[in-house]
Amino acid sequence: MKFALITGATSGIGYELAKLFAKNEYGLILVSSSQDHLDNVKKKLQGHYSTPIYVIEQDLTQIGAAYEVYQKVTKEQVPVTVLVNNAGFGLVGATNEIDLKQDEQMIIINTLNLVILTKLFIAEMYKCGQGKILNVASTGAFQPGPYTSTYFASKAFVLSYSRAIRYEAKSKGVQISTLCPGATRTNFFVREGTVTPTNSMTAEKVAQIAFSGLMKNKEIIIPGLKNRLLQLFPTKIKMISVAFRDNSLLRRWWFDMTV
């Protein structure tokens, strides 16, 4: 049976992708930092789908966490056909204002553990001569982000890394796609009394586009016509736009996909 391993799987894009994989008869391995959330999601999914579901509680903001996930999957002897590196979070604020420890954790979950999971599971996929990997970046990967400096830089890393290994993997039967969503109605934006940006897409729609793009072996998946058109603007214009938006509207927001 085919299995999809999804990190950050208990809400937002990760949860919606889990539903799509289950609907398409994939077994699921769901990873999150909250056992309660994992249990709730597993129960909901089992109410609609008969596919086997494994859950792994692991905080991917910690060094070594990716190895723990791999060891737990190996122990269960479950073949991972699809890896979805979705877990991550971002912080908004001037670089001197953001807590250093939180920045470290952001780098670990957004880049380091993504690379480790990719390297561990792609080795298994190479042996089988098949597999798919979906790494979640952001439209922020296409330009620097004043007041979101570490976050945008981490997503630029994800995009660059994914495109490079896609080239390496194409002769091995392994397909690698990168999802670059814009603002999405998920836990990504959390602040008391503050609304999600009006131009945001639903997590369900983003997941549908991502799933379709992955199955079609698209290199870069950018949901939404507006998000795709924005990439035609000069980098400096996009950077100034981000600086104005994040400094005036989103300062001190916390946005995450790790739940």
Q: Homologous superfamily of 3-256 in CATH?
A: NAD(P)-binding Rossmann-like Domain (3.40.50.720)
Amino acid at 242: V
Q: Is residue 67 classed exposed, middle or buried when 0-12, 13-18 and 19+ CB atoms within 10 A define those classes?
A: middle
Residue 203 φ/ψ, nearest 5 degrees = -60, -35
pTM as predicted: 0.88
How would you classify the pairing of strands 3-7 and 82-85?
Answer: parallel
Least Cα distance to 30 among 14, 46, 13, 49 occurs for: 14
Domain boundaries, the chain: 3-256
Joined tokens for residue 19: 């539903």
Report how far residue 235's alpha carbon sits from residue 238's, in angstroms, rounded to the nearest whole number. 5
Tens digit of pLDDT per residue, the chain (259 long)?
999 999 999 999 999 999 999 999 999 999 999 999 999 999 999 999 999 999 999 999 999 999 999 999 999 999 999 999 999 999 988 999 999 999 999 999 999 999 999 999 999 999 999 999 999 999 999 988 888 899 999 999 999 999 999 999 999 999 999 999 987 776 655 433 334 555 678 999 999 999 999 999 999 999 867 765 666 645 555 555 555 555 544 444 445 554 3
In eight-state DSSP terms, residue 109 is I
